[in-house]
Amino acid sequence: MTDGLKLNIVPFVSVDSMMKIVMGIGVERFLVDLAAYVEEDFRRWESFDKTPRIPSHSDDGVIELMPTSDGVLYGFKYVNGHPKNTRTGRQTVTAFGVLADMASGYPVLFTEMTILTALRTAATSAVAARHLAPRNARTMAIIGNGAQSEFQALAFKALLGVNRLRLYDIDPVATEKCARNLAGRGFEIIKAKSVEEAVEGAEIITTVTADKRNATILSDNLVGEGVHINAVGGDCPGKTELHRDILLRSKIFVEYPPQTRIEGEIQQLEPDHAVTELWQVMTGQVAGRESERQVTLFDSVGFAIEDFSALRFLRDQLEAFPFYEEIDLLADPDEPRDLFGMLLRSQK
Ligand SMILES: NC(=O)c1ccc[n+]([C@@H]2O[C@H](COP(=O)([O-])OP(=O)(O)OC[C@H]3O[C@@H](n4cnc5c(N)ncnc54)[C@H](O)[C@@H]3O)[C@@H](O)[C@H]2O)c1
């Protein structure tokens, strides 16, 4: 212990606490405020350490570590992606993460990130769309109505004013669930029977399906002029959602090219195919959408800086919403070098 500080203690936000915090703030308010942190960190992109995330693949899915630092704080997320998990009652995506102080190397926050990932992914999609989607877009198709889908819908409502949803999933039970969860939240909802029906009249198309293969969720003929595509589900080698021809006629925006070229829709293209980095659009260095007729594509894979923003945002909420446990995470001997002595004294 030093100066009465409990150096061994790290605040831990459990799933139960996260739900209290999110519902205490309100989902849409949370998304809007989190989006501001995401945008703030994209605007200072150059001040971060960046590396493609570190994956371990198996036939069934992937486990990934996602680290970054801005020199003051360090964050990492552990996340998995296992599309078959829902068949055994498990989530496709689960996560937890840590925020740490660069000066001492000590963690300052340990948290569940399954819910937080859904919120940060949706906030990032909406931040991107604010720069790329057609002006005054109100109608969004959502293909894939699983765990992420409601979060996506609410982020687009809160940040862009989307109020008409056209839902489609190969499993109608998922569509029913999504429509039920979003009922009474200010959307007009169409439950479509096909992708073709879902994309009819949609100015924004979100693809957020889970399947560990090169799928064709959207074919080229279904994408009209001027549409913004928010492609969220293709995020691993050999796991994509869009037909290659769509990519060839879209202006493509990415988070971090070295990671997206491995994991995103653009793995289908030549390694030097031109893409635009989202942070440069946000800082005004390069143009986003250039015309009303242009097809824009956010090839989202999820990057560590978004999780860093989410961790930073969460930490800043804990004073007003003190839902966390104090966990004894770090060994703290009276004399720092007497770790073994602490172990011996524990027996007395
Ligand atoms: N880009 C990111 O930052 C990011 C973040 C989180 C999740 N993801 C990805 O988003 C995807 C969805 O995640 P989730 O947690 O909602 O998964 P989920 O398993 O809860 O839901 C996926 C849904 O997709 C549906 N689906 C599968 N194939 C389909 C098809 N051909 N057409 C229509 N629907 C289809 C399934 O029936 C299911 O309802 C996953 O692939 C995940 O890896 C990406």
Closest CA to 174 of 208, 218, 202, 138: 208
Over range 163-177, report the average pLDDT.
Answer: 98
State the distance from the centre of ligand 1 to the C-alpha of 311, rounded, in angstroms: 23
What's the pLDDT score for residue 7? 86
Question: DSSP of 120-156, one letter per residue?
Answer: HHHHHHHHHHHHHSPTT--EEEEE--STTHHHHHHHH
Over range 139-151, report the average pLDDT.
Answer: 98
Q: Please count the other Cβ atoms lying within 10 Å of the Cβ belonging to residue 181.
A: 14
**Is residue 2 over pLDDT 80?**
no
| Cβ of residue 148 lying under 6 Å from some atom of ligand 1 | yes
Amino acid at 231: A
Closest CA to 101 of 74, 77, 68, 78: 74
State the distance from the centre of ligand 1 to the C-alpha of 224, rounded, in angstroms: 23
Amino acid at 239: K
State the distance from the centre of ligand 1 to the C-alpha of 329, rounded, in angstroms: 34
Q: Whose CA is nearest to atom 26 of ligand 1?
A: 209
**pLDDT one-digit tens code per residue, 23-42:** 999 999 999 999 999 999 99
Q: How many CA atoms lie within 13 A of 175 on its CB side?
A: 19
What's the pLDDT score for residue 4? 56
What's the pLDDT score for residue 290? 97
What's the pLDDT score for residue 1? 41
What's the pLDDT score for residue 98? 98
| Cβ of residue 174 lying under 6 Å from some atom of ligand 1 | yes
Contact status, residue 134 vs residue 157, Cβ threshold 8 Å: no
Contact status, residue 32 vs residue 159, Cβ threshold 8 Å: yes
| Cβ of residue 301 lying under 6 Å from some atom of ligand 1 | yes
State the distance from the centre of ligand 1 to the C-alpha of 184, rounded, in angstroms: 24
Over range 103-125, report the average pLDDT.
Answer: 98
State the distance from the centre of ligand 1 to the C-alpha of 209, rounded, in angstroms: 3
Find the helix or strand (DSSP H, E) in which 245 lies: helix 244-248
| Cβ of residue 299 lying under 6 Å from some atom of ligand 1 | no
**Is residue 158 over pLDDT 60?**
yes
**pLDDT one-digit tens code per residue, 181-238:** 999 999 999 999 999 999 999 999 999 999 989 999 999 999 999 999 999 999 999 9
Over range 148-174, report the average pLDDT.
Answer: 98
Q: Which residues of 252-278 are buried (b: 16+ CB within 10 A; e: fewer)?
A: bbbbbbebbbbbbbbbbbeeeeebbbb
Q: Which of 208, 211, 229, 266 to mutate to test the pocket of ligand 1 (most atoms within 8 A of CB)?
A: 208
Over range 167-176, report the average pLDDT.
Answer: 98
Q: Whose CA is nearest to atom 18 of ligand 1?
A: 146
- The catalytic site residues sit at 235
Query: Binning pLDDT at 50, 70 and 90, where does residue 348 land?
Result: confident
Contacts of 270 (CB under 8 A, 6+ apart): none
Q: How far apart are CA 124 and CA 79, in angstroms?
A: 17
What's the pLDDT score for residue 130? 97
State the distance from the centre of ligand 1 to the C-alpha of 16, rounded, in angstroms: 24
Over range 291-306, report the average pLDDT.
Answer: 98
Q: How far is CA 317 from CA 17, 176, 212, in A?
A: 12, 33, 36
| Cβ of residue 140 lying under 6 Å from some atom of ligand 1 | no
Ligand 1 atom with least separation from CA of 232: 1
Q: Whose CA is nearest to atom 38 of ligand 1?
A: 146
Q: Which of 93, 150, 178, 239 to mutate to test the pocket of ligand 1 (most atoms within 8 A of CB)?
A: 93
State the distance from the centre of ligand 1 to the C-alpha of 92, rounded, in angstroms: 8
Q: Provide the mean pLDDT of the chain.
A: 97
Q: Whose CA is nearest to atom 8 of ligand 1?
A: 233
Contacts of 154 (CB under 8 A, 6+ apart): 27, 28, 31, 122, 182, 185
More confident residue, 15 or 2: 15
Ligand 1 atom with least separation from CA of 171: 37
Ligand 1 atom with least separation from CA of 146: 21
DSSP 162: -
Q: How far apart are CA 275 and CA 261, in angstroms?
A: 10
Contact status, residue 199 vs residue 189, Cβ threshold 8 Å: no
Over range 294-308, report the average pLDDT.
Answer: 98
| Cβ of residue 307 lying under 6 Å from some atom of ligand 1 | no
Over range 37-66, report the average pLDDT.
Answer: 97
Domains of the chain: 9-115+305-345 (3.30.1780.10), 123-302 (3.40.50.720)
Ligand 1 atom with least separation from CA of 210: 41
